[in-house]
Amino acid sequence: MVERFLARLKSDPSLASRIAHWHREPAVAGASRPFPASLHPVLAESLKRRGIEDLYSHQAEAFEHVLAGRHTVVATPTASGKSQCYALPILSAMLAAREGRALGRDGSGRLLPAATRPTALFIFPTKALAQDQRAAVNETLAAEERADGGIRDLADAQALAVRGLAPIGAWTYDGDTPPDIRRRLRESGDIIITNPSMLHVAILPNHPRWADFFRRLRYVVIDEVHAQQGVAGASMANVLRRLSRIARHHGSEPVFIGCSATIANARTHFGRLVERDVELVDKSGAPRGERHHVLLNPPVINVPLGLRARAVDEAREVCRHFLKLGLPAIVFGRSRSRVEVLTKYLKDAAASLDLDPATVVGYRGGYLPDLRRRIEAGLRDGSIRMVAATNALELGVDIGSLDAVVMAGYPGSTASYMQQSGRAGRRRGASVTVLVASSLPLDQYVLQTPEHLFGARAGPEVIINPDNLVVATNHLKCAAFELPFRMEESFGSFPHTRAVLHALAVPGGPLFAKEGRTFWMDEAWPAEKVSLDGGSTDNFVVVEMPSGRSLGTVDRPAVMTTLHPQAIYQHQGEQFVITHLDWEGRRAEAEHVQVDYWTDAESRTEVQVLSEDQDAPRGLFRFGCGDVHTTRVATLWKRMRFYTNENVETGPIDLPPEELDTTAFWMALAPEMVDRLRLHDTARAGTLEGAASLLRSVVPALCQQGRSEVRALGLGSHPHFLSPVILLLDTVPGGIGLAEELMARHMALLRCALRVVRHCPCQVGCPACIGTGMARGPEAKRAVLELVSMALAAAEESSGCGPAAGVATIDSSGRIGFAALGAEGEH
Amino acid sequence: MSAGLQEKLARLGLLAATPSTASAVPPSVVSELPGRECLTCCGPVWMHERRFVPGAAPLPHGTRPLTSVEKALLFRRPPRHGAAVAFDIETTSLASGAGVNAFLVGLGWWHEGVVVVQQWLMRSPLEEEAMLASVLATLQRFTGMLSFCGRGFDIPRFRDRLAMAGRGEQLPVFPHDDLAPLARQMLTGRMKNARLASVEAELLGFRRVHDLPGSECPREWFALQRGQAHRMAAVMEHNAIDVASLFGVEWALFEELQQPRTPATAMLATVAALEAGEMMHAQRAANVADEILAADSAGQVPRGLAEQYRRARQRLHAAC
Ligand SMILES: [Zn+2]
């Protein structure tokens, strides 16, 4: 089946001409090792019964680390048997304890007495994943599940029963767990499978009731570690700080084990997350079927503007082939609205092929849970043939195996690419991933540097900032609720522990200090008010009128540009116009309409610099980062026609501004740069905005900070800098570490930007490089190229790290050239 | 701390409120608390003892300890020997969780015809250990527990505190008689809610004057931490009455059961006596119930009770 598609790809001239890169991963035989000596015989028997005679090399490696008490992160591809990496050693230790043998060391290297029956906590990002995982543990044990969630016995051999041992209980603990089961699993659960939110809001604040579980806690498993970035990652790191405190209070030092998709910095990332030295296991010994990665670049349809055909349209054409061939496929879109557009296009395409449009569905976050469950089930039973999805489907929710994945636009990170691509070809046999690049600079960067995806140390680094003041302070409150702080006690490596405790222990504050100890002193329950993904507790609900049906929710910061009156809200490929917005009531009313346009909105941001944390003068440039206060106001809405993208109407938006305290990275230009770059009048705005847009768009090539976006401003003058400046703004309150990271890696940022703008075929600036604002044009493109290369040269010269990068030239006919450039990119 | 960090916390909205400038009350105020400091193996704690005489609120005239058979009849269980201790705590929140403190524990028992109430107050969280140790030591003298909502509220929270202190195993496993479900069933339709104060008003004809509502207690304890003790005495009074009145309510509920006036109480008396194994009582109650039902068939009977009563009648019939 896949072969038929690949053949068509080669033979169809219009498809073949679009191929920018074809990467074939040959089938891999894999590497195996014999069962380790300490693998419990019950598990060995269970594996053998399923025809497994040995372990993959990475499973054996992880097995040794875990039993030696070493914190470990496993970063191997999807479907490489990651869960066995921790399930086998943990179950071996538990089974040995049942027999009165001590096996395995804890996180501090102690060999615990055999009388202690160890417990384990598995943390999965979602409830669905936790449910899947319980099934996986039971499969490892070849155990039957009881209706109440426990495990009755181990396999047909009834090995444990023969040995007279109690069974091992693996339980999911989530919002659906009934109260009487909760009590039982607190008292007798060996493995508790839960999600970060339950740990945060239910388990840790009630740890006295879990005292026996925590006293014996030996293993903490964290899945999908790569997704723990940005606010979610910072929150997770702080939840783990709390967990470590509570475990220590009850006398245990667990071993932390993480599972991650392939990311550039799995070891440092997991180390940061758990604040411990960790071992990395990243050499997969699993065999894999042949995999094809086809990177398609849509043709340039307007040469001067460098405009390419839209990724969504191109992806639709690719999907038509899959529909015709009857190959089940997932097509990933980058945003909710794009997925809605894709869903509509693909339903149309199915209808034109005489297929039932109901076999094509959309899947994204913001859908209410029961609709999502129905879609997941349809994918599993085959009644759904094609899904247009956001990355909500990227995490390992069980949807069976598919042959093909299409990405309408690069998903933004190597880890996401690999996860999405991994949705195809879980079973052995050929599979294909088709990436349709968009005109965005990052997409074009990836196409020019496929080693970014397929190289040895591919991809951007995942960054988290566990010390984000907002996140850490909120969790410090939760921690104080859970256990008073002793004198000089630290909260992980949060540097402001003392200072923040002190600031909160004032009259009217929630804490109280006495004789060096700090106590929670408030009726409120802090965990209730702290959301793990930041801000999402402040949601607006969209209600269809007059039916009153809830369509979905929107985070507050996005409301001013997506739920203003007249906005088109898209849901399942249908359009709803917002008729009324109740700001106080956090509610928008929408009516179903049939229109041929959607809406986009413009906003204006003002920035006040509060402090300069770093300042690096480099020739005619100054790089720096620090705290800023921003005020953002939505100004205009625009109606855009489907398929043509034509702006058919605009109107004003009148909504309150969003105020935000955050951090920013900036690059200020000495005033004489205005002359040097000939930045006068409109060219100045076009250049600065273009450079800002370019820099922002390549940020994800360097670092991943989760769902939050980066906002970019290019200003001709600013009262703080008294000169032109380009600002890249973190959009998380308090800053999530982006500004510091960009400051530390500003040369790499400039190198990526330079590569993109230099290779862009356009002449006047385009969405693939400097964007297409009012003031863009050949002058702006020339100036951005010069600006970026001069900035890079200045930065490199001052840091003494290499020769000047090179010089942009522009000849009399407006053609842009480039001379002598040093090493580019960091990867 | 640096002014910069303090400012940043404020800007990010992380400081709950603006620091209050209220001057601290002089430490001498603490001595206005009723009671005395008590030194334990785990340090000092505040203790107060009071006695309540029947005939003075909250104990009605004639209040006396119930015999083990009477208790069995009231709580529908076999009789058992030994004395019960009344138990009531004040907490810093109605929620549960590690950060919810039980700052005041009141215990009460009958002693030579009067109710003795002893209260342990931790004047700061540092006194928790001493308070828990004193309460545990006192509990050792009893073999049963009496409470109002204690099964669902007071005991789980107290056990959490013990678990926090690593004394989770030390709470005696008592048979526990909880008056709340009983009162709710017997007084159906006669009270606007099932709170202890409503039960007192209905059964004991006792209305608390100047009583501090339970919801205000946490705040008073927080104030005590900052040296403002003026209403802590009222919190202690509230708690002492809660404890003492358990014996009044217990006695009054029993009286009510002995002289049923409504169809519900008559039916309950029959069912309860049968479950306690007191056939004579059961037969007598059934006769009363028949009389009342004949006169007043419209009285309110909780759901399920009518059915329980029907089955009790059948068992009685079979036994005769
Ligand atoms: Zn371009």
Omega into B213 within 30° of 0, i.e. cis? no
Cβ contact (<8 Å) for A504 and B16? yes
- Residues listed for chain A: 827
Which distant-in-sequence residues (6+ apart) come within 8 Å of A46 by Cβ?
A140, A141, A142, A154, A155, A159
What pLDDT, on a 0 to 100 scale, did the predictor assign at position A157?
31
Tell me the pLDDT band of A401, cut-offs 50, 70 and 90: low
What pLDDT, on a 0 to 100 scale, did the predictor assign at position A92?
92
Cβ contact (<8 Å) for A627 and B96? no
Task: Share the mean pLDDT of chain B.
Answer: 85
Encoded tokens for A447 = 């196409």
Residue B320 CA to residue B317 CA, distance in Å, equals: 5
What pLDDT, on a 0 to 100 scale, did the predictor assign at position A646?
74
* Closest chain A residue by Cα to residue B162: A208
What pLDDT, on a 0 to 100 scale, did the predictor assign at position A340?
86
What pLDDT, on a 0 to 100 scale, did the predictor assign at position B28?
45
Q: Where are the alpha helices (DSSP H) in A251-360?
A: 266-274, 311-325, 336-352
What pLDDT, on a 0 to 100 scale, did the predictor assign at position A803?
42
Average pLDDT on A403-432 reads 81
Interface test with B, best of A519, A660, A730 (most B CBs within 10 A): A519
A161 touches B: beta carbon within 8 Å: no
Omega into A778 within 30° of 0, i.e. cis? no
Q: Report whether pLDDT(A819) > 60.
A: no
Burial class, A716, CB count within 10 angstroms (exposed 0-12 / middle 13-18 / buried 19+)? middle
Question: Which among B11, B16, B92 has CB closest to A509?
Answer: B16
Average pLDDT on B38-59 reads 92
Which distant-in-sequence residues (6+ apart) come within 8 Å of A162 by Cβ?
none
Ligand 1 is an ion; its neighbours by CB within 5 Å are: A 306, 760, 762, 766, 768-769
What pLDDT, on a 0 to 100 scale, did the predictor assign at position B29?
47
Q: Which of A673, A682, A710, A683 is nearest to A788 (CA)?
A: A673
> Domains of chain A: which residue ranges?
2-23+288-454, 57-281, 469-529, 539-595, 601-826
Q: Report whether pLDDT(A319) > 80.
A: yes
Burial class, A801, CB count within 10 angstroms (exposed 0-12 / middle 13-18 / buried 19+)? exposed
Cβ contact (<8 Å) for A507 and B19? yes
Q: Report whether pLDDT(A391) > 80.
A: no
Of A456 and A261, more confident: A261
Of A412 and B235, more confident: B235
Question: Which among B95, B98, B219 has CB closest to A208?
Answer: B98
Tell me: the pLDDT tens digits for A735-753?
888 898 899 889 989 998 9
Q: In CATH, which of 3.40.50.300, 1.10.150.110, 3.40.50.11890, 3.30.9.10 is domain A57-281? A: 3.40.50.300
Question: Which among B11, B22, B164 has CB closest to A208?
Answer: B164
Are A589 and A580 in contact by the 8 Å Cβ rule? The answer is yes
What pLDDT, on a 0 to 100 scale, did the predictor assign at position A159?
44
Q: In CATH, which of 3.20.140.10, 1.20.1730.10, 3.40.50.720, 3.30.420.10 is domain B3-257? A: 3.30.420.10
Encoded tokens for A120 = 């384990």
Interface test with B, best of A498, A500, A608 (most B CBs within 10 A): A500
What pLDDT, on a 0 to 100 scale, did the predictor assign at position A801?
52
Report the gap between the CA of A94 and the closest CA in chain B (Å). 25
Question: Which among B19, B93, B168 has CB closest to A211?
Answer: B168
Tell me the pLDDT band of B109, cut-offs 50, 70 and 90: very high
Cβ contact (<8 Å) for A525 and B99? yes
What secondary structure letter does DSSP report for B201?
Answer: I
What pLDDT, on a 0 to 100 scale, did the predictor assign at position B288?
83
What pLDDT, on a 0 to 100 scale, did the predictor assign at position B242?
92
A526 touches B: beta carbon within 8 Å: yes
Tell me the pLDDT band of A128, cut-offs 50, 70 and 90: low
Please report the residues numbered 258 through 277 in chain A whose beta carbons come closer than 8 angstroms to any beta carbon of chain B. none
Q: Report whether pLDDT(A194) > 80.
A: yes
A629 touches B: beta carbon within 8 Å: yes
Cβ contact (<8 Å) for B163 and A209? yes
Tell me: the pLDDT tens digits for B249-265?
999 999 888 888 777 88
Tell me the pLDDT band of A814, cut-offs 50, 70 and 90: very low
Tell me the pLDDT band of A702, cut-offs 50, 70 and 90: confident
Of A68 and A440, more confident: A68
Q: Which of A743, A736, A717, A715 is nearest to A727 (CA)?
A: A715
Interface test with A, best of B11, B14, B224 (most A CBs within 10 A): B14
Chain B residues whose C-beta is within 8 A of a chain A C-beta are 1-2, 4-6, 8-9, 11-12, 14-20, 22, 92-93, 95-99, 124-126, 159-161, 163-164, 168, 218-219, 222, 225-226
- CA A113 and chain centroid, separation: 40
Q: Which of B250, B266, B252 is nearest to B302 (CA)?
A: B266
Q: Which CATH class is domain A539-595?
A: mainly beta
What pLDDT, on a 0 to 100 scale, did the predictor assign at position A396?
52
Interface test with A, best of B9, B21, B167, B220 (most A CBs within 10 A): B9
What pLDDT, on a 0 to 100 scale, did the predictor assign at position A395?
59
Encoded tokens for B287 = 């006769």
What pLDDT, on a 0 to 100 scale, did the predictor assign at position B120?
97
Q: Report whether pLDDT(A785) > 90.
A: yes
Question: Which among B20, B96, B161 has CB closest to A206?
Answer: B96
Tell me: the pLDDT tens digits for A637-683?
988 777 666 788 889 998 888 888 899 999 999 988 888 888 777 77
A498 touches B: beta carbon within 8 Å: yes
Q: Report whether pLDDT(A427) > 60.
A: no
Dist. CA A769 → ligand 1 center (Å): 4
Q: Which of A627, B162, A482 is nearest to A491 (CA)?
A: A482
* CATH superfamily to which A2-23+288-454 belongs: P-loop containing nucleotide triphosphate hydrolases (3.40.50.300)
A601 touches B: beta carbon within 8 Å: no
Q: Which of A34, A279, A516, A16 is nearest to B125 (CA)?
A: A516
A535 touches B: beta carbon within 8 Å: no
Question: Which among B1, B2, B125 has CB closest to A519?
Answer: B125
Residue B38 CA to residue B18 CA, distance in Å, equals: 37
Report the gap between the CA of A605 and the closest CA in chain B (Å). 19
Tell me: the pLDDT tens digits for A3-50?
889 999 899 888 889 999 999 988 888 899 999 999 998 888 888 887
Tell me the pLDDT band of B164, cut-offs 50, 70 and 90: very high
Residue A592 CA to residue A156 CA, distance in Å, equals: 57
A123 touches B: beta carbon within 8 Å: no
Q: Report whether pLDDT(B225) > 80.
A: yes
Report the gap between the CA of A481 and the closest CA in chain B (Å). 4
Q: Report whether pLDDT(A432) > 70.
A: yes
Per-range mean pLDDT, top range of A116-130, A547-561, B84-98: B84-98
Residues of chain A positioned with their CB less than 8 A from the CB of B164: 208, 483
Which distant-in-sequence residues (6+ apart) come within 8 Å of A747 by Cβ?
A792, A795, A796, A799, A801
Find where tokens 């960790």 sit.
Answer: A278
> Domains of chain B: which residue ranges?
3-257, 263-319
Report the gap between the CA of A516 and the closest CA in chain B (Å). 11
Q: Report whether pLDDT(B46) > 80.
A: yes
Burial class, A589, CB count within 10 angstroms (exposed 0-12 / middle 13-18 / buried 19+)? buried
Tell me: the pLDDT tens digits for B174-189?
899 999 988 888 887 7
Tell me: the pLDDT tens digits for A342-354?
898 999 989 998 8
Residue A748 CA to residue A727 CA, distance in Å, equals: 17
What pLDDT, on a 0 to 100 scale, did the predictor assign at position A487?
87
**Which three-class secondary structure state does DSSP give residue A297?**
coil
Tell me the pLDDT band of A133, cut-offs 50, 70 and 90: low
Tell me: the pLDDT tens digits for B274-283?
888 888 888 8
Tell me: the pLDDT tens digits for B127-151?
999 999 999 999 999 999 999 999 9
Q: Which of B226, B22, B9, B12 is nearest to A503 (CA)?
A: B9
What pLDDT, on a 0 to 100 scale, did the predictor assign at position A821?
37
Please report the residues numbered 685 through 744 in chain A whose beta carbons come closer than 8 angstroms to any beta carbon of chain B. 733-734
What pLDDT, on a 0 to 100 scale, did the predictor assign at position B303?
72
Question: Which among A208, A504, A507 has CB closest to B163?
Answer: A208
Residues of chain A positioned with their CB less than 8 A from the CB of B8: 469, 627, 661
Share of chain A above pLDDT 90, in %: 36
Comparing A57-281 with A539-595, is the CATH topology the same? no
Q: Report whether pLDDT(A621) > 70.
A: yes
Are A432 and A5 in contact by the 8 Å Cβ rule? The answer is yes
Average pLDDT on A324-328 reads 85
First to last CA, chain A: 36
What pLDDT, on a 0 to 100 scale, did the predictor assign at position B141?
93
